[in-house]
Structure 1
């Protein structure tokens, strides 16, 4: 079944360009010019990837990105004319999976969408994709995008955070370099990718109650990468 990509942008020309390019690439596409229409549609559709413009006439784009990251399982890619570093950082910190600046090459958008879908569909050792994994004090539910602790308390995580967590859980007690993370997870390269990983790992540590100064789960090996320290049961 083809993945569903939603587009939220108030410029009709942008919506048409992206719709035509993505449909030619084999995706199902629904586009919206207003945030209220898009949010209403989420009650009846489940997108795999959401392309969101930040400069929307009826809502704050960054606030919408944050809500999507918290409440939806879809990957979120910002497409915006805001090219400042602080805008990129804010978008990533609020839960976006990727950030593309306007003007853009439509083929690059297709590649970024495919990278997000690949990252969300990986499975250990090429086997079937298990929906949950257990480690000390926690169970990660990848079908529902939540962590549950031993008391039953649930903590939601975004698809972007889930991709990083799954990579760790599939490779416990093994060093994972930034280059390996880039290869496995895709997305923007260079400083943009490094910043995105830093943000996602920081959010995961917070949700797992893992002290970054004395971690028991996710340890940073400076200059080399990361190690997930616990045993994992799938």
Structure 2
């Protein structure tokens, strides 16, 4: 099996070189891009496992690219940006990013975050690629939810991480701290907000009543619990 591929989209050559060297030393393959146009062209033939994306791109709004990657790509998306305000982090995570790293950073931190994303996505703890529950089938190999009639609704990598976590631990209360530890995100207001957004989107895709959800329950002050029987294959 070939090493995981990490793409680096940043218009600063020094940043691309630094990240590329650190990731390759850690055993990853890398591809670097200075512009979104080049990166999007490469996606036609390359299938990265993790995408590192700077928001300050010369030819494209980085946030819109993050949103597209989250919806259309099977890759994990990590923002690496000089924008360090809480609202910037919240917006990036709301749009589907899996993690947010603020410049300046230590290369070792980025390598650790990349490893955390890949462990969660492909680690041995994963129950399988297909889960059936309450008339739904979650296909984690193609990021879709299939209803009883066969209609499919796509979900993002970030939403899939949360869904898999719930489906691997049905009928078990999970605190925010446990979710943070399992998903490897940075603790804080922006991470909590991102989890709330992902849960809300999953409820919508599962056609849940937001005032009285049947499957993903909020236990106020404690966390979330998934109420349903799950069969993996």
TM-score under structure 1 length normalisation: 0.95
Partner of 1:200: 198
How far has the Cα of 1:150 moved from its partner? 1.5
Cα deviation, residue 44, structure 1: 0.6
Alignment pair present for 1:137 and 2:135: yes
Tell me what 2:158 maps to. 160
2-structure distance, mates of 1:209, 1:78 = 30
Partner of 1:35: 36
Unaligned 5+ segments in structure 1 are none
Measured in 2, the distance between the counterparts of 1:179 and 1:80 equals: 25
Q: Give the C-alpha shift of residue 184 in structure 1.
A: 1.6
The CA deviation at 1:183 is 2.2
DSSP-derived class of the 1:47 partner = coil
CA distance in 2, matches of 1:22, 1:46: 17
Tell me which of 203, 210, 213 is aligned to 1:212.
210
Residues 47-102 of structure 1: CA deviation (Å, up to 9, x unaligned): 00000001111111111001000000000000111112221111111100011111
Q: What SS does the corresponding residue of 2:52 show, helix, strand or coil? A: strand
Deviation digits for residues 174-227 of structure 1, max 9, x if unmatched?
Answer: 111222212221121232322221121111111111122101010011111111
8 Å contact 1:23–1:29 — kept in the other structure? Answer: yes
Residue 137 (structure 1) shift: 2.6
Measured after TM superposition, the shift of residue 129 of structure 1 is 4.5
Matches within 5 A, 1:2-151: 2-123=3-124, 126=125, 129-151=127-149
Residues 22 and 107 in structure 2, CA contact (< 8 A), matched pair in contact too: yes
Rounded to whole Å, the distance in 2 between the matches of 1:16 and 1:100 is 17
Matched with 1:228 is: 226
Question: Structure 2: how far apart are the matches of 1:129 and 1:231?
Answer: 14
Cα 1:26/1:94, change in 2 over 3 Å: same
Superposed displacement of residue 151, structure 1: 2.0
